[in-house]
Chain A
């Protein structure tokens, strides 16, 4: 299953609302996860099952979507949110696949 994220990168300011889209080549509902990766660090789970916030993740992060289209929204961008975000599908059987990533940069 191919995963495509858009945009590949974006520039935003602190306080902005940011939305990242992930599209799957077939329905993967609800088996869609989101990760945040800061430079030089391992990815960190943000959201699983499309919309469930992982424990400890700030509530400004939210996920939605179904079928083949999903979104990650950051309601008010904070300085620590500048990172690369990846979606991942875990539908049915392996191989699990990731999107190519969306880099969120400071405007």
Chain B
């Protein structure tokens, strides 16, 4: 079955750019029926959707982060990536990648499966 795995630095300095990659295994990122999303969760808090990408490279971002977020896809490596610029301590969180599924169902979409998550701490 499809599995997702996040990777990237666990510590980023304030004002720098956070960069994470999600590697998809057990299936192709170019299946044509899924989007691929990033979600984050500060410690002890709820979930925030960051944005999504289609295999064509089409993206949608959360307006609250749009000015600082870039999501890209590398179909040759079966990966998609997140860049978040000008980070502050408020960006410290566990970052998850997930497959954004359900679009052919006609009853919406949902996240399944999820990666295990990676903690990114913003600190000098």
Contacts and interface: CB of A to CB of B under 8 A. Distances in A.
B102 A48 contact: yes
Tell me the interface secondary structure of chain A in the complex.
loop
A19 interface: no
- Interface footprint category on A: 20 to 34
Contact of B49 (A49, A95, A101): A95
B60 A94 contact: yes
Contact of B47 (A43, A45, A90): A43
Interface string B62-82: 111000000000000000000
Contacts of B60: 93-95
A97 B112 contact: no
Contacts of B117: 42
A86 B105 CA distance: 22
Contacts of A42: 96, 114-117
Top 7 A-B pairs ranked by shortest CB distance?
Answer: A31-B108, A49-B107, A42-B114, A45-B112, A98-B47, A48-B110, A95-B62
